[in-house]
């Protein structure tokens, strides 16, 4: 059986043909993620040119085809820390190549609350990636998580209190200029002084606002949504352990249909029941999977030193071993797709939608997140083995950037 699969995989029709008008054509065969049925997809000049659904299974490889995964919150990968003092363009290239192996075709490098100059410096380096010929296609923008969040212990999570400040539009513009206008998403606390006009200004300037690391009241949250906030950052995390059962930031964010939450479905940051409940309330059209992965993600499990502390990287998560508590996430969203199907019994279609279609829509990435005629050909070929996605090939703008064989 295994051999048969391998033979099928080799059967990919990978034709690089020069037709009239110098067109690059790639033909991909497999099973469509929306309905599991056989499909032949023709890509011309980096775009979907033809999607042909087939009745007969004969000769169609036993792989699924889906749009490439989109991770809008990721702090680093494979030892490359986007907030690191030693960040280089080469480091970002390395992280991108490694993410392609996990089926991530688009991602938003994320910087959390930090020293003013450090944020400016790292956005300047990250901005070099935006138009890099090798990886620029995979990086449409950045996520700034903080520094305008709650300074209160529990709600601020792992953000250091000394770096948290009040919303300041002029300061934000300094980051935006350093980032060559690449900051497309910002996480803000709605209850801090000046947050509501700041949110309005962000939205008017095309920056998507997400509520996170906050203890906003129902009124704060409503005002923020009225001002244009459209997302909740890693709902259920960035929240104190002890909260009021009636008056807490979770209920109003769940209750308002205008907010799409992102969730860390690694099996550690939220319980299975939380994920099930969030999905029931919001539905598969309104949930976004994020990895929120730390730079250690992708490295071999073991002990590492972070700052002055020892951390333990398990295959799924980073812990402080002395206290046995979470130190951060380390599960790529390809794995979260499998988790979602296991935790909520949702279909592959729904899980892929949460990891690709929904983030593309919310961030205005109109060319991505779907396999349809004329859109940019970002796609993945994968098998499902023991409930998990195993990426076989990753294609960005019609170009094979990763192949397992």
Q: Which ranges of 237-328 does DSSP label H, i.e. alpha helix?
A: 250-255, 272-282
Q: Which residue has the tokens 């490295």?
A: 299
| Token code pair at residue 243 | 């909260």
Q: Which residue, 170 or 241, has its beta carbon nearer to Zn ion?
A: 241
Q: Which residue, 156 or 376, has its beta carbon nearer to Zn ion?
A: 156
Lay out the site mask for Zn ion across 230-269 (x = CB under 5 A, - = otherwise): --------x-------------------------------
Min dist CB 187 to Zn ion, Å, is 7
Q: Which residue, 109 or 238, has its beta carbon nearer to Zn ion?
A: 238
DSSP string, 339-363: HHHHHH---HHHHHIIIIIHHHHHT
Residues whose CB falls within 8 Å of the CB of residue 274, separated by 6 or more in sequence, listed in order: 236
Q: Which residue, 140 or 238, has its beta carbon nearer to Zn ion?
A: 238
Min dist CB 145 to Zn ion, Å, is 5
Q: CA 404, CA 394: separation in Å to the nearest integer?
A: 9
Min dist CB 264 to Zn ion, Å, is 9
Coarse DSSP helix, strand, coil percentages of the chain, rounded to the nearest 5 percent:
30, 30, 45
Taking CB atoms, the residue at the shortest distance from Zn ion is: 238
Q: Which residue has the tokens 């992708």?
A: 298
Min dist CB 395 to Zn ion, Å, is 31
Min dist CB 292 to Zn ion, Å, is 6
Min dist CB 294 to Zn ion, Å, is 11
Q: CA 353, CA 269: separation in Å to the nearest integer?
A: 21
Q: Which residue, 31 or 269, has its beta carbon nearer to Zn ion?
A: 269
190 touching Zn ion, by CB under 5 A: no
| Token code pair at residue 340 | 């979602």
* Residue 307: how many other CB atoms lie within 10 Å: 6
Q: CA 220, CA 192: separation in Å to the nearest integer?
A: 9
Q: Which residue, 65 or 293, has its beta carbon nearer to Zn ion?
A: 293
Total number of residues binding Zn ion (CB under 5 A)?
1
- Strand, coil or helix: what is 30? strand
- Write out the residues near Zn ion by the rule CB under 5 A: 238
């Amino acid at each position: 059986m295994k051999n048969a699969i391998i033979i099928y995989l080799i059967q990919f029709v990978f034709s690089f043909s020069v037709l009239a008008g110098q067109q690059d054509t790639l033909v991909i065969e497999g099973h469509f993620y929306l309905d599991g049925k056989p499909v032949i997809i023709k890509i011309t000049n980096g775009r979907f040119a033809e999607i042909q659904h087939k009745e007969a299974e004969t000769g169609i490889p036993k792989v699924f085809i889906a749009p490439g995964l989109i991770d809008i919150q990721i702090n680093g990968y494979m030892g490359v820390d986007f907030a690191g003092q030693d960040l280089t363009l080469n480091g970002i290239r390395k992280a991108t190549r490694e993410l392609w192996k996990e089926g991530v075709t688009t991602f938003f490098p994320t910087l959390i609350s930090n020293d003013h100059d450090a944020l400016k410096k790292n956005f300047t380096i990250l901005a070099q990636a935006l138009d890099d010929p090798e990886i620029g296609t995979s990086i449409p923008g950045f996520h700034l998580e903080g520094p305008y969040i709650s300074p209160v212990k529990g709600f601020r999570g792992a953000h250091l209190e000394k770096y948290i400040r009040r919303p300041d539009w002029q300061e934000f513009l300094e980051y935006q200029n350093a980032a060559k206008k690449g900051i497309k998403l910002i996480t803000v606390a709605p209850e801090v002084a000046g947050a509501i006009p700041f949110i309005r200004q962000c939205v008017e300037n095309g920056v998507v606002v997400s509520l996170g690391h906050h203890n906003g009241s129902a009124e704060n949250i409503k005002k923020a949504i009225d001002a244009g906030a459209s997302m909740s950052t890693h709902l259920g995390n960035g929240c104190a352990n002890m909260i009021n059962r009636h008056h807490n930031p979770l209920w109003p964010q769940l209750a308002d249909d205008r907010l799409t939450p992102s969730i860390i479905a690694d099996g550690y940051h939220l319980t299975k029941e939380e994920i099930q409940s969030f999905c029931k309330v919001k539905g598969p059209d309104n949930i976004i999977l994020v990895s929120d992965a730390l730079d250690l993600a992708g490295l071999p499990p073991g002990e590492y030193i972070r700052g002055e502390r020892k951390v333990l990287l398990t295959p799924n998560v980073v812990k402080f071993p002395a206290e046995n508590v979470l130190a951060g996430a380390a599960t790529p969203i390809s794995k979260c797709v499998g988790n979602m199907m296991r935790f909520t019994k949702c279909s592959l279609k729904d899980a892929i939608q949460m990891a690709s279609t929904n983030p593309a829509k919310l961030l205005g990435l109109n060319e991505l997140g779907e396999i349809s005629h004329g859109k940019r050909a970002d796609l993945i070929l994968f098998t499902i083995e023991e409930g998990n996605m195993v990426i076989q090939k990753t294609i960005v703008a019609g170009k094979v950037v990763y192949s397992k064989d």
